[in-house]
Amino acid sequence: MKLVNRTYIFAFGFSILMLGSSCSDFLEEKNESNYTQDNYFQTAAQAETVINELYAELRFVLDNVGTYGEGPFMMLEFPTGLLNTEVGQAEFNRNLRTLNANAENNYFNVWWEQSFEAIANANLAISNIPGIDMNDANKKKLIAQAKFMRAFHYFNLVRIFGDVPLILEPVDATSELLYPERTPKAEVYNAIVSDLIDAEAAGLSFKDTTGKVSTGAIKSLLSSVYLTMAGYPLQAGDEYYKMSADKAKEVIENSSYNLFNDYDELHDPETQNSGEFIFQNNYLAGANLTNYLTQWLLPRALNISKFSDEFGVMYPTEAFISSHEPGDKRIEEKEFYFTEYPSIDDQDQIVNFNAHYIYKYFDENAVLETAQSDLNWTFFRYAEVLLTYAEAGYEAYGPTTDVLEAINKVRRRAQLPEFDSNITKEDIWRERFHELAFENKYWFDMVRRRKVLNVESGNWDDFIGHQFTYGPSLTEKYLLFGIPQREIDNNKKLTQNPGW
């Protein structure tokens, strides 16, 4: 069977043995290799296992998928023009940084294949869990989690690739969807919204400190979806700004989440899935679930950690650092960035990096002791919800007291002067730019606004024609990424995006 078909049919090779005690009983009774789509969904425990797999499938974003220091999340960072790298042999990163990528870039394939695998498993869960004899309330909650996951992956796919196949049911070898065509993006967005509205009504807790989907996470995602729909490419109407603001405000007014007082708490193992964090990707060091991010972001081979390799994969340009306002706490040493650290061999010897490196994902225990990190990767945190509310609310209502308070909460923590009613939308854009830097948010913001901050002039350039500080200029091509060439080779119904 061709590769493309496998991702659409299903990914029933569950990571069953690593999913915890909830599935231990039936594992002892039957060999999991005997399970199929037709006979698997029999018990509540099996339903839980399928949902657990959906959480496990989120981890591909930080997988190591290249030859040396290459992870899928980097695909959304290098085309922003804000990063340097010390790893010249990392081809996927280099070609995106210089805007010389083609449709063979493996990041495109990983995002496409892994997302559709998760969607296929979500489709199986949504289709089959209703028929299981189990508690109805729990059944609704499991289905809600599956619908959230399907919406989450489709939201990434439609923003990354544009029109994508919309598959909302299980596919087998006889299905007409075995070789699907691309679906207009408006239909994809409608399906995303429908799934999230269903999930929102399922009775999940507003906050979940175990790492599972919560009502707060659903509303946070929905507010982001509405904000995107208001912008490019749909330009669905100003009412979507209001819908985005209102949904974000529901999260704010519930008071389940709060900004951390200290930026260090953003990478403190004790705070994971709590406080500011709304939805995270969870890791467990020592169980083949290690997060490589700290190691990737350490400066190259300066011997400041227990890691055998310090990669220097990505670090911000000095022009980006200089774009911050004077007094911004986020660029003080060991807040969001750092410029020096003690040698691992002699703590009295300070190693100067001669550049700023990213500190917001720094795992001190992994660096100094274990060389294994299990810090979570954050998909949504409360600061983003506040800034989404500020941006969408400004468009919908103007600089109201609530809009100003949302953005000023973020600025107060950064020890910056508060905005007043003279605030502009560009002020809000810039605050989001600095607060959420290198969290896989800015490229999406660039595309939905068609505007890019010129970090040297301080002005907002049009996306097409914006020149990076190190030379390359954005073209229409980078409003989307390329449909993976191997997918087009295997499915002649798929077409390629412009320029790829």
Of 63, 70, 112, the residue nearest 94 (C-alpha): 70
Any idea where the domains of the chain sit in the sequence? 283-375
pLDDT 10s digits, 242-296: 999 999 999 999 999 999 999 999 999 999 999 999 999 999 887 778 899 999 9
pLDDT 10s digits, 43-98: 999 999 999 999 999 999 999 998 889 999 999 999 999 999 999 889 999 999 99
Q: How does residue 23 score in pLDDT terms, banded at 50, 70 and 90? A: very low
- For residue 10, pLDDT over 90 is answered with no
Q: Rounded distance, CA 76 to CA 159, Å?
A: 11
Q: What pLDDT score was predicted for residue 16?
A: 34
- Residue range 101-130: mean pLDDT, rounded: 97
Q: What pLDDT score was predicted for residue 119?
A: 98
Q: How does residue 18 score in pLDDT terms, banded at 50, 70 and 90? A: very low
**Strand intervals (E) in 332-475:** 337-342, 350-358, 377-381, 451-453, 460-462
Q: What pLDDT score was predicted for residue 27?
A: 24
Q: What pLDDT score was predicted for residue 15?
A: 37
- Report residue 288 as tokens: 């083949």
Q: What pLDDT score was predicted for residue 29?
A: 34
**Strand intervals (E) in 382-463:** 451-453, 460-462
CA angle 227/219/386 to nearest 5° reads 60
Question: If you average pLDDT over every residue of the chain, what do you get?
Answer: 93
- For residue 26, pLDDT over 50 is answered with no
Give percent of the chain with pLDDT exceeding 90: 88
Q: How does residue 35 score in pLDDT terms, banded at 50, 70 and 90? A: low
Q: What pLDDT score was predicted for residue 43?
A: 94
Q: What pLDDT score was predicted for residue 190?
A: 98
What pTM value is reported for the model? 0.94
Q: What is the CA radius of gyration of the chain?
A: 22
Q: Rounded distance, CA 302 to CA 357, Å?
A: 13
